[in-house]
Amino acid sequence: MTMLFDRRCEVYVGVPPKPDVFTVQTVERLRIAGLRVSFKIARDGTPQANGLEVAIYNLSEASRARFEAKGARIAVLAGYGENLAQLCSGDVRYAQSMKQGPDWITKLEAGDGERALAHAQVNESWKPGTPVSAVVKKAVEALQLDPGNALAKAQEIAGEFSSGYVQHGKASRELSSLLEPRGYSWSVQDGRLEIVKAKESLPEIAPLISPDTGLIGSPEMGTPTKPGERPRLKLRSLLQPRLRPKQRFELDSLAHRGVFVAEKVTHTGDTFGNDWYTDVEARPA
């Protein structure tokens, strides 16, 4: 049986030297050890920013100020013992510290790539015959995020604009209007752009989920959210920090076995409480 004990959580915070740069290596590290941290992190493969809600108890005054600094970004890592993985990172949209009884509680809300998604603009006119891939690349560059696999994926998109094309407005909206009609979806994951074809999955395979590796209860097929859509498998496990949207994983349970693709992943945890779960909505691979 996999050893799923010794819960650990670390939080990194900093103001990047450049707006489009944020990794745990490029900002000052704040390691949360021995303090209570609770979190809820919801991730999916849509263009909407993945959301983070974090509460940290009894930080020092200087540390509280770092989380409340303008332009701050955070990354949350969690796992077991020394085996940690990044659950998500994001731009802090809200940070406030308050005294409740004997405790100082710092509450944070953040969105993965949120500032770029909301504010990045692209304005460009393209002549007739311009390849679609070139226009997609321009929208990707305008977002000023880590391009991830986006530039390579753009090269796969065939076709051209016979009458020219005009890009104007939010780069995120332009990217969606270019990709969705051509059978692609995109999202921001840990500050990196990720483009996949419809029904495609990422090349990495997550660890097996089974009763021996943290599966709780029996997975169930949920009700489809749209007409003609296949029902999604829903399951709960002890925290699976390496599982990401669009990633394949193997499931071994009494009712369901096989390879599935995660569509939505929600991590909920509390280092001093009972919560330490990953809830997954998935489809067959």
Q: Could you please state the CATH topology (level 3) that the domain comprising 120-197 is classified under.
A: Phage tail protein beta-alpha-beta fold (3.55.50)
Of 183, 132, 139, 184, nearest in space to 160 by CA? 132
The domain locations on the chain are: 7-115, 120-197, 205-284
Cα separation values, 158 from 4, 41, 166, 224, Å: 46, 36, 18, 32
Residue 226's Cβ-count burial label (10 Å; 0-12, 13-18, 19+) is exposed
Interval 13-62: pLDDT, tens:
887 665 554 444 455 566 666 789 999 999 999 999 999 999 999 999 99
Interval 132-190: pLDDT, tens:
999 999 999 999 999 999 999 999 999 999 999 999 999 999 999 999 999 999 999 99
- For residue 104, pLDDT over 90 is answered with yes
Q: Is CATH 2.40.30.150 the classification given to domain 205-284?
A: yes
Instruction: Give Dmax (Cα) for the chain.
Output: 67
Cα separation values, 50 from 17, 166, 282, Å: 23, 29, 17
Q: Could you please state the CATH topology (level 3) that the domain comprising 7-115 is classified under.
A: Thrombin, subunit H (2.40.10)
Cα separation values, 237 from 110, 209, 253, Å: 24, 8, 12
